[in-house]
Amino acid sequence: MSRTAHIVRTTGETAVDVFVDLDGPEKIVEIATGVGFYDHMLHQLGKHGGFDLKVNVKGDLHIDSHHTMEDTAIALGQAFAEALGDKAGVVRFADASVPLDEVLARAVIDLSGRPYMVHEEPIDIQPMINTDYPTSMTRHILESFAYHARICLHVTVLRASNPGQKPDAHHVIEAQFKALARALKAATRIDGNDIPSTKGVL
């Protein structure tokens, strides 16, 4: 059974092309959004999730990076929803905790078919990474992904100690994407044939 999806999303602001294979037979991750740090985060998602993931985006970066990152997250969520199909045989529930030096992040997932997102991270991290990644966008990216993937997602930064300084924004955000990747890998794993719900549908 192939669990793949190819989503093309074109608006007046962006042109997004996303391909995902949940079973990652080729171990290919190719990301090009034009936003360097965002590319780095999506590469974590593919690599640590064990997915084949190809993302190519042309966005209105002459304005800012918001539309590019938002529309990419929407298309990525749509791709995961399509690739999962009826979710027969998936594990469904999973969580993962990931440390990155001084940071500890946790992601918990239910492939429920009901979009919901809870997000907690330090409020005092640096406002920008480079000149094109506002750190306030992390929540919106995860929310957009969860809504369009139709999953319940909780992402929490449990610890971000950096005595005498603000928490390192790079580590805070990267740990979240790695935790999300590992939780997605576990939740989407095939472990039987039945749809894991007493309702018979997800």
Question: Furthest-apart CA pair in the chain: how many Å?
Answer: 52
Q: Residue 41: what residue type?
A: M
What distances in angstroms separate CA 23 from CA 28, 164, 189, 195, 201, one per listed residue? 11, 43, 8, 18, 22
What pTM value is reported for the model? Answer: 0.97
Q: What is the pLDDT of residue 26?
A: 86
Hey, is 192 helix, strand or coil? Answer: coil
Nearest CA to 103 among 173, 184, 181, 183? Answer: 173
Complete domains list, the chain, with CATH: 4-188 (3.30.230.40)
Distance between CA atoms of residues 37 and 201, nearest Å: 37
- Rounded to 5 degrees, what angle do the CA atoms 59, 125, 69 make? 15
Question: How many CB atoms sit inside 10 A of residue 121's CB?
Answer: 22
The amino acid sitting at 108 is V
| pLDDT of res. 142 | 98
Q: What is the pLDDT of residue 165?
A: 82
pLDDT value for 186: 98
| Confidence (pLDDT) at 39 | 98
pLDDT value at residue 1 = 75
Rounded to the nearest 10 degrees, what angle do helices 66-84 and 36-49 cross at?
Answer: 20
Say what the pLDDT of residue 162 is. 78
**pLDDT tens sequence for the chain (202 residues):** 799 999 999 999 999 999 999 998 888 999 999 999 999 999 999 999 999 999 999 999 999 999 999 999 999 999 999 999 999 999 999 999 999 999 999 999 999 999 999 999 999 999 999 999 999 999 999 999 999 999 999 999 999 987 778 889 999 999 999 999 999 999 999 999 999 999 999 9
